[in-house]
Amino acid sequence: MAQPSDAPLFPPFSVIGPQFIAPYPLEITVDKYPCRHLVITDSNHKIMLKVKPYDTTFHRQRILLDANDKPIAMLREKGESKADSDMIFSAKTEHMIQFKTNVSMTLANKKNYSDDCDLRLKGSWSKKNCTIYMGDSSIAIAQYATDKFTVTIQPNMDYACVIALLAIVDATENSDEIKEGSSEVGGAVLDVCNVLASS
């Protein structure tokens, strides 16, 4: 994907919240730490977001936090959400062929329409070469680089949504994070739930 220009390709696309939309291109770095921690920084090395494990006795979960550790969203396996009203979006991972990753993301208000995804991540996660597209179109809204976990995001795109999607793929692509059988035929399905209202 070419470096994003200053001219937005689409109107503001808010998923988790309008406060996570920038009118200019973003280049962010995702640093991975032990115990499944992710820290997301901007080009000035300022922390923007964090992803941490939030496990319970029976379930492995991840929580998306802002720079001050305020909860933003919960990443859970499908069916663990307490209410549909908490849902922001669902993501389904499908392995097209070996070493290839295909993830479709559907907003909660459209989750009954399986053929109509809102974002799609395609590429090779193991080779750190993936692109996120607007639905099934050819419009690329984010891409991460090969040498370093650097993500380039187009203007007007909800960067918290992009990070949540990448965190889901990171979790499903690491075998120690997947419960037995959860990512077999058909792939794994995870929900992203709103926690801002209760925080």
Q: What is the DSSP string of 77-127?
A: ETT--S-GGGEEEEEEEE--STT-EEEEEEEGGGTT-TT--SEEEEEETTT
Whether 131 is covered by a domain: the verdict is yes
CATH code (residue 134): 2.40.160.200
Whether 12 is covered by a domain: the verdict is no
**Of 114, 112, 160, residue with least CA distance to 104:** 114
Whether 2 is covered by a domain: the verdict is no
Rg (CA), the chain: 16
Whether 84 is covered by a domain: the verdict is yes
Whether 7 is covered by a domain: the verdict is no
Q: How far apart are CA 98 and CA 61, in angstroms?
A: 26
Whether 101 is covered by a domain: the verdict is yes
Q: Work out the average pLDDT over 26-33.
A: 91
Residue 94 forms beta bridges with which residues?
Answer: 102
Q: The domain containing residue 158 runs over which residues? A: 25-194
Q: List Cα–Cα distances, 59 to 1, 19, 178, in angstroms.
A: 37, 30, 10
Whether 133 is covered by a domain: the verdict is yes
Our measurement of the distance from residue 163's CA atom to the centroid of its chain's CA atoms, rounded to an integer in Å, reads 4
Count of the separate structural domains present in the chain: 1
Check whether 33 has a pLDDT greater than 80. yes
* pLDDT tens for each residue of 75-134: 887 655 555 667 888 888 775 555 678 888 888 876 455 557 899 999 887 777 889 999
Whether 112 is covered by a domain: the verdict is yes
Q: What is the pLDDT of residue 128?
A: 76
